[in-house]
A and B are shown apart, each in its own frame.
Chain A
Amino acid sequence: MALTKVTKHIVHGSLLVQFKYADLSDTSITSNTQTYQVVGSAITMTPQYGDSILECTFSASYEHDQTGSDSQYAISLFVNGIEEYEHTQLGGGPTGGNSFTQHGGEHDRVYSNIFHSSFRDTKQSVGWVHNHTPGNTNAQVVDVRGRSMDNNGWQLYVREGFLIVKELSMGVNSGSQN
């Protein structure tokens, strides 16, 4: 057999150590709930290495289907009860506070010549990517939470939630900002 020349090629990189996911159950958050409520269930991941990176990805849809002016919401990533990442003002940000009060003028998200109006049945796809470096091998409880941002906010529904958490060993390469 002829000899084959062996070419040495060194590849430096990191390994995927753990992969966990949760198909989150649909969750409704009652009106006026300004404190964060857990959407579905949490993922608990115990890093095998203290210098690992946990990559978290999430997608879902959110909906509010009631009439009213105050329809801004927030959806966040929590790890061990600490907020890591937040999307705010979903549904449109602060409204004009003018619904149902007068004819004409500016109403919430509707302009000019509209009489006593507000919106209903709004729904959007939401999602994010994020990473977290725990710096230890303690259990990390990762969950998604939602809330109304207004004290008279309307009922919020979060549906079709899917959450993935991956442990990536840092190995040779380190996770770094830019």
Chain B
Amino acid sequence: MGPPVEPEDDAAGGGAVVASTALYRDPASSPMSDLDSLNTLEAEILGSIGAASDEAALEAVRVAALGKKGSVSEKMKTLGGMDPEQRRTVGPALNALRDRVAAAIAEKKAAIADAALEARLASEKLDVSLPVRESPLETGRIHPVSQVTDELVAIFSAMGFSVAEGPDIETDDLNFTKLNFPVGHPAREMHDTFFLPEKENGERLLLRTHTSPVQIRTMQSQEPPIRVICPGRTYRFDMDQTHTPMFHQVEGLVIDRDAHLGHLKWVLEEFLKTFFEVPSVELRFRPSFFPFTEPSMEVDVRCRKLPNEIRIGEGDDWLEILGCGMVHPNVLRNCGLDPDVWQGFAWGIGIDRIAMLKYGMPDLRDLFGADARWLAHYGFRPLDFPTLAGGLSS
């Protein structure tokens, strides 16, 4: 049913637009003619509702019909003067008419509101093809060296390694002597060293040529067992297509009572296959020489050399990838460890190099050029945080 007739004042006053006065002039007409006149009235009112084009017009129709002095209300007032039989016929008919009118008004009102909303929405169109600002998460970048370092940390922390660090400016003692480079030995010449000015006491500091002094610092400051990786900047006097005066290395060190070469092999295999995200890697260990390890080895990894890429873990080629060995007894002694009790292994690998290998960056020098276009191309998005659970880079 429609809403009840509102008892409000008739705002439209006597200016009713559709009220027919014919009915009121003939109160004595027959019930049949009463009903006919109601039908006529209803048709008139419904016609006015249909014709109302906005909310104001519709309100005027409502007042003229259902307002205090509206045509339907006036009709209601005549019921009192009717004989009971006439009232029984006309009363319900009039009530039903009032309800139908009210319902028609409500429906029309909703239709007008709908039409108004549609009209508004139709006028409110945006050109949604207009570009929005790129998210800073889309423009910001993490440098490949940082990303790969985070990958290394993810891999080795899962194997129980902590991350150790040391200063870039080192002493000759920690960079060379403690690592079993004899003074004047040609092995020192393999490292083209940057030196700081000689001090009054004759001491000459240098920029570390490898991250190995961190091994010494760790063994001197920490009780074994030890498992650390030492990523960081290293420096050598060299500049050409494949060398830069500054580069990044990560070194690993394990000291325990029984950590042997077999463990070293396993750690390197696990590391390389996890890092390169391949199901398996095949490694070739070649005897080599580093003053601070004995036995010393260089490690080649099976690969396929393609014109613009080297694929690790497949193919018929070998690529030299890292150096490693059992920590030299002299190095253990230099750190106050008894080489008959403690033993262990160490390895070192170029972070820049494996980053270039994994992500196909052709030129080392570009890594330090700070070219925004290069960084946008090879860099990583801020939230691409490497995790083992996520498969490092996927």
Do A and B come from the same complex?
Answer: no
Interface residues of A (CB under 8 A from B): none
Interface residues of B (CB under 8 A from A): none
